[in-house]
Amino acid sequence: MTQESVPITILLVEDDPGHARLIEKNLRRSEVTNQIIQLGDGQTAVDYLFCEGEYSGLERPTRILVLLDLNLPGLDGYQVLRRVKKDPMTQRIPIVVLTTTEDSREVARCYDLGCSMFVTKPVNYTEFTETLRRLGQVLSIVKVPNGD
């Protein structure tokens, strides 16, 4: 089986259920058909990615892409990003930061920690849906390495 034939799983880490629904809905409208797994906090995301805690024994997908909010309860997005990027087992997983901040220092911090892309979630609904439509277009062509 070639890398292209192994589907990419999208891990959506978003604590606001309304935002999570809107993100998934608009990605689907952009014809993103990938499996989307929604998790609501940073610790659960780390557990999932490292097959720890409630995900102990789980065989996580070999090709995964993370959509990560920064403002999460417990472990925040920065802590998740730092943990994933410092471990050789997970450092190649692409992480798209998807958050409301536009602060250039926060953008720089995320790139310094190893994020692949930083996308600001607009507050305006129309702009929000357009941003997600564009993100869906990008996700439909992005290449993701195998996780092994």
Q: Would you write out the chain's pLDDT as a tens digit for each of its 148 residues?
A: 444 567 899 999 999 999 999 999 999 988 899 999 999 999 999 999 999 999 999 888 889 999 999 999 999 999 999 999 999 999 999 999 999 888 999 999 999 999 999 999 888 888 988 888 888 888 877 878 776 5
Structure tokens belonging to residue 13: 């880490």
Q: Are 91 and 83 in contact (CB under 8 A)?
A: no
Structure tokens belonging to residue 76: 């925040």
Domains of the chain: 3-139 (3.40.50.2300)
Strands 9-13 vs 36-39: parallel, antiparallel or unpaired: parallel
Number of neighbouring beta carbons within 10 Å of residue 127? 12
- For residue 77, the one-letter residue type is G
